[in-house]
Amino acid sequence: MKRVSLLSSIAALLICTAALAQENGNWRAANQTAKSITGDIAITPEKLYINFARFTMSRIRPLKSDEVAAAFETETAAAGAGSLYRISIPPETKFLHKNTLCGTEETQWVATYSDGKNLKVAFFSDAKPPVFTIDALQNSTNLCGTFSYVR
């Protein structure tokens, strides 16, 4: 019985590790928002690199498929993996063309969704974690922007 439990735990760990690995690496800016604000980015398990600036982040939890669909307007959420991270990017941090991520607010949350060669990233301000429903996101005052990247 212990052997089955151990194997199940190892399998769950491998699945979680594979899901995290999808978003790791270097990403090229794909949409106009990313091209004009962040440029290319890189993600490691504990860091986010934007325009050669390094920010420590902590993975809080995986996103459920319905949360990914609401946040990133995708119907194929089952094909990829999403995560919510805690981060601290001061409002005075400037990126490309002297742009900031959240205006005069501190960027405190990062949501990601990767399906292999595509990555979507949403940045949020506010101390409370974002709510990932269509209604909450449409009426959100703390969603700073959604960015697209490719490998």
Blockwise average pLDDT, block size 10, the chain, 151 residues:
46 41 91 97 97 95 94 73 96 95 97 94 97 94 97 94
pLDDT at 75: 67
Residue with tokens 């959420």: 77
pLDDT at 2: 54
* Sign of the alpha-carbon torsion through 134, 139, 140, 143: positive
The vertex-123 CA angle with 42 and 112, nearest 5°, equals 55
pLDDT at 117: 93
- 18-27 long-range CB contacts below 8 Å, 24 or more apart? 19/62, 19/81, 19/83, 20/45, 20/59, 20/81, 20/83, 22/80, 22/81, 22/114, 22/115, 22/116, 23/81, 23/83, 23/112, 23/114, 23/119, 25/151, 26/151, 27/119, 27/149, 27/150, 27/151
pLDDT at 74: 76
- Confirm whether pTM is higher than 0.75: yes
Q: Which residues have C-beta within 8 Å of that of residue 53, sequence separation ≥ 6?
A: 93, 95
Tell me how far apart the alpha carbons of residues 79 and 65 are, in angstroms, rounded to a whole number: 9
Tell me how far apart the alpha carbons of residues 53 and 46 are, in angstroms, rounded to a whole number: 14
CB distance 117 to 105 below 8 Å: no
